[in-house]
Amino acid sequence: MNGLVDTRALRMYGKQDLRLEKFALPAMQENEILAKVITDGVCMSTYKTVLQGSEHRRVPDDIAQHPVIVGHEFCGEILAVGAKWQEKFQPGMKFAIQPTLNYQGSPFGPGYSYRYIGGNATYIVIPNEVMLQDCLLPYHGQAYYKGSLAEPLSSIVAACKASYHTVGGSYAHEMGIKNRGDMIILNGSGPMGFLAVAYAMAAARKPELLVVTGTSEEKLARAEKYNPVAKAAQYGITLRYVNTKDVGDQKEYLLNLTDGRGYDDVFVYAPLKASAELGSDLLAQDGCLNFFAGPTDKNFKAELNYYQVHYAANHIVGTSGGYPEDMRDALALIEERRIDPSIIVTHIGGLNSARDTILNLPSIGGGKKLIYSQIELDLTPVEKLGELGKNNPLFRELANIVEANRGLWCYEAEQYLLRHAPGIEK
């Protein structure tokens, strides 16, 4: 390959300064890989990154002169492989990326820090350190979007592994959520909460009681529709969805669900002071709180009951992303169809819609937004395909496919979209 490959990519030049541009990629080196991006999932972490610009720990200081491609939940196809990596990777392979490289102690990663690799691009050059860190992973599933959604699922896998409990009479720690314990996900009615409930059913270590809270009846109803209580019961899990707007004293109500004992594992899925403090108050003896939500405020603080830390052995962890092993676990769960991440997809769009989707993400509503990097398509709610299809044959056929799949986005819909939507280059 001569490296004279043009790409279209959404690049960040500063705080809330995103530009969709066409430019030539540098020539691929013998320790690099050239690839085509098909899908990228829009993550709240990307929105937070764009708000902060170079103040974000993963973003370089010089993005005004050397902009970075945004988007870290991506999946695509390898096109060309440099000599160094030809025994491990071949053209035509599908791939997913673990963006948390941890390369030489640096926080930098694809989708945050690099000029020529990120999810919101048509073509990318994968640098040597991604392969060195074992963060370029083969994907053997059919649908590209499911490969993209392995990244958020891997964050949940990592969080559950990072929780820990003590072993009585020793200083040993047992890693992972407490098997057959009581677990609660605060603010868990969004897409990450959906995946967390699905993972709780699929994982080897399962809670006996799983409580998921939210404040939107619509979101909780969708959560229950695709992760029903009856299905959880088949795995020995008592699943409860709780709208905390309706319960009065939240602490009292939620503790009563455990007969006052408290929760062995508490996950806080929104960066809210009240949620962090409620989570602390809900911990049982030897309970572990995982502050999963990443705040944008570097001085974010919440009170912690240190009496309980001392006498009840309460402890706190925080996780951001995962490791390659977590990504491999997530990919396997998807490839083996033990988890279908389609339940979190609510919007689809082309690369032309990525900028506005990221900048307006909190106000759009719904669940996961998928960007198809090779096509041009305004951001479109999956549930509106039928209505839009009255005047648009593309949407009409997509609506028929989705309707036949319980209203969920699927491989067949993706294939039809990629074949019939206008290309971004046109």
Indicate the pLDDT class of residue 5, thresholds 50, 70 and 90: very high
Burial class of residue 218, CB neighbours in 10 A (0-12, 13-18, 19+): exposed
CA 20 to chain centre: 23
pTM: 0.94
Q: Give the percent of the chain with pLDDT over 70.
A: 99
Indicate the pLDDT class of residue 3, thresholds 50, 70 and 90: low
Q: Where are the alpha helices (DSSP H) in 249-305?
A: 250-256, 273-281
CA 100 to chain centre: 12
pLDDT tens-place string over residues 130-175? 999 999 999 999 999 999 999 999 999 999 999 999 998 899 999 9
206: left (phi over 0), alpha (psi -120 to 50) or beta: beta
Closest CA to 108 of 157, 168, 140, 68: 68
pLDDT of residue 1: 47
Strand pairing class (368-372; 33-42): antiparallel
Task: Fill in the amino acid letter for 12.
Answer: M
> Residue 110: is its pLDDT beyond 60?
yes
The conformation of residue 38, written as its DSSP 8-state character, comes to: E
- The H or E element that residue 152 is part of is helix 150-162
Q: Give me 132's structure tokens.
A: 């060195």
> Residue 93: is its pLDDT beyond 60?
yes
Per-residue pLDDT averaged across 121-133, rounded? 98
Burial class of residue 353, CB neighbours in 10 A (0-12, 13-18, 19+): buried
Indicate the pLDDT class of residue 423, thresholds 50, 70 and 90: very high
- For residues 126 and 33, the answer to whether their CB atoms sit within 8 Å is yes
Indicate the pLDDT class of residue 321, thresholds 50, 70 and 90: confident
CB atoms near residue 384 (< 10 Å): 13
Question: Would you say the C-alpha torsion 240, 245, 249, 250 has a positive or negative sign?
Answer: positive
What is the secondary structure of 184-208 as a DSSP string? EEET--SHHHHHHHHHHHHSSS--S
pLDDT of residue 282: 98
pLDDT of residue 369: 98
> Residue 391: is its pLDDT beyond 90?
yes
Tell me the C-alpha distance between 78 and 80, whole Å. Answer: 6
Indicate the pLDDT class of residue 426, thresholds 50, 70 and 90: low
pLDDT tens-place string over residues 207-266? 999 999 999 999 999 999 999 999 999 999 999 999 999 899 999 999 999 999 999 999
Q: In which residue are the tokens 């972490």 written?
A: 45
Q: Give me 244's structure tokens.
A: 């905390």
Measured between alpha carbons, how far is residue 215 from residues 28, 88, 209, 245, 312 in Å?
A: 49, 47, 20, 6, 30
Measured between alpha carbons, how far is residue 34 from residues 6, 143, 241 in Å?
A: 12, 21, 45
Per-residue pLDDT averaged across 88-95, rounded? 98
Contacts of 170 by beta carbon, 8 Å cutoff, 6+ apart: none
| Per-residue b or e along 109-148, where b marks 16 or more CB atoms closer than 10 Å to that residue's CB | bbbbbbbbbbbbbbbbbbbbbbbebebbbebebebbbbbb
The conformation of residue 282, written as its DSSP 8-state character, comes to: T
CB atoms near residue 230 (< 10 Å): 8
Q: In which residue are the tokens 């949620």 written?
A: 275
What is the secondary structure of 56-111 as a DSSP string? STTS-TTTTTS-EE---EEEEEEEEE-GGGTTT--TT-EEEE-----GGG----TT
Per-residue pLDDT averaged across 16-41, rounded? 97
